[in-house]
Amino acid sequence: MTGLTHLDEDGAARMVDVSAKAVTAREAIASGRIGMSDEAAKAITDGLVKKGDVLAVARVAGIMAAKRTADLIPLCHPIALSAVTVDFDLDESGVTVTATARTAGQTGVEMEALTAASTALLTIYDMAKALDKGMVIDNVRLIAKTGGKSGDWRRTS
């Protein structure tokens, strides 16, 4: 079972011991998109969704989710986040969400950024589903990460 860090020598699941790792500044950026009808996109842009301000609620949901990642993803370490941002890029066919998570710690924040982006996207769906039940969430992915033993990484495609 060598090479699989979340399995012990007997193949049992385990949380990786990061106690010997150096504390470093770490950042991760994740993104995803929700495609929707022109009508739903316009309602979100114009602030006309009956449930309220879709993007404000989605931003708070994404931040809250990042803070709870260890409760949602088995074997994730609880991380003291120093910052989480959730940003939106709207167009006539949907919303792109970009989430950034930062910490100074012994393990990375990729899962927190991905959880923030995913939850923000799900919240947009929930808030606007009365306008378009056929919305599609896709392309959720890590964009970049900095810090830690493995160093910096950036998506090239």
**Residues identified as active-site:** 126
**CA–CA gap between residue 95 and residue 122 (Å, rounded):** 12
> Mind giving me the DSSP string for 122-139?
HHHHHHHTTT-TT-EEEE
CA 100 to chain centre: 8
Q: How far apart are CA 18 and CA 77, in angstroms?
A: 9
Rounded CA separation 137/157 (Å): 19
Nearest of 91, 90, 137 to residue 117 by alpha carbon: 137
